[in-house]
Amino acid sequence: MRAPPCSATREGAHVLIDTYGRVATDLRVSLTDRCNLRCTYCMPEEGLQWLAKPDLLTDDEIVRLIDIAVTSLGIEEVRFTGGEPLLRPGLVGIVERVAALRPRPQMSLTTNGIGLRRTAAALKSAGLDRVNVSLDTLRPDVFKTLTRRDRHKDVLEGLEAAREAGLTPVKVNSVLMPGLNEDEAPDLLAWAVEHDYELRFIEQMPLDAQHGWKREGMITAGDILTSLRTRFELTPEGDEARGSAPAERWLVDGGPHRVGVIASVTRPFCSACDRTRLTADGQVRTCLFATEETDLRAALRSGAPDEEVARLWRLAMWGKKAGAGLDDPGFVQPDRPMSAIGG
């Protein structure tokens, strides 16, 4: 493989470019593979075998890698994910240290919301800009069935705490599952508009630990939009407003509220992808559906200087594939589930 070019960007940084000309400016960092829910589309009821603590990146290693990404590789946005990132004991300190980097990246966090009531204010003070909260249903009984935990009230309170702390816009991510919550799209949108949250529906993806995902019967973007239009007028924002964002967005009843749909399966957006991913154990992934990883943890722990770590990262991204390949006959679901690689 040819070495990646070192085209300069801002302040002497070098971009994470691939052979298709896409430049990664958005870094997703998984802080832990652990989660306090057991969502049916993510992991089995008994949970998974978690990563051993020595395999996880330390707080210092996480901050160092983000520093390299921001100051040497042109990263502009950092999203903290999991598993459930609020389970990471050093989260507030990590956010505070990343906020001190120059140039300062935009920072967000994807969470199930259970711990937000007690942490939202501290995260805002540390420098976090906003949150994405996963909530698939307004019905406590359906929530318990989907997540195998009775924590619906905690998520709603966490959402309120995030809004009150100023972690806005508060985005809500919802996955619709056949036979459980497939009829809730209009109700979820009405509720989001009422509470000033930005709702985004996400097609279920083949990232479950059980490898039980099937395209047949899944709730598609088309299904969701048809359901929403029974109660709302949706006006598309268009590709120019979307940019490289994964969500297609529509104005709701003329605005100002919006609703988004992330259609990774039926309307893939790989050609505009600007993301690079770092797992909790220090592996670079070029795509959620990648079957290969590049080990940066080993480089850090062997004493590699920042320049060498940056070179390995650029090389990994240079080899990024054109697309996720969900429609390819030979598509193979990644061995590592969503909880291990970060959303």
Please enumerate, by residue number, every residue annotated as part of a binding site for GTP: 28, 79, 110, 171, 275-277
Which positions make up the binding site for [4Fe-4S] cluster? 35, 39, 42, 270, 273, 287
Roughly how many angstroms between the first and final C-alpha of the chain, as a whole number?
28
Number of H-type helices and E-type strands within the chain: 11, 14
CA dihedral 141, 146, 147, 148 (to 10 degrees): 70
Residues 326, 310 contacting (CB under 8 angstroms):
no
* 287 Ramachandran zone, left/alpha/beta (phi>0; psi -120 to 50): beta
- Structure tokens belonging to residue 93: 């300190």
- Distance separating alpha carbons of residues 287 and 52, to the nearest angstrom: 24
Residue from 266, 258, 264, 265 nearest 238 by CA = 258
Which positions make up the binding site for S-adenosyl-L-methionine? 41, 83, 134, 205
- Distance separating alpha carbons of residues 249 and 262, to the nearest angstrom: 9
Which helix or strand (DSSP H or E) is residue 250 part of?
strand 248-252
Residue from 204, 233, 162, 139 nearest 337 by CA = 204
* 139 burial type by CB count under 10 A (0-12 exposed, 13-18 middle, 19+ buried): middle
Which positions make up the binding site? 28, 35, 39, 41-42, 79, 83, 110, 134, 171, 205, 270, 273, 275-277, 287
- Distance separating alpha carbons of residues 50 and 113, to the nearest angstrom: 21
Q: How many Cβ atoms sit within 10 Å of the Cβ of residue 172? A: 23
Residue from 278, 277, 316, 274 nearest 294 by CA = 316
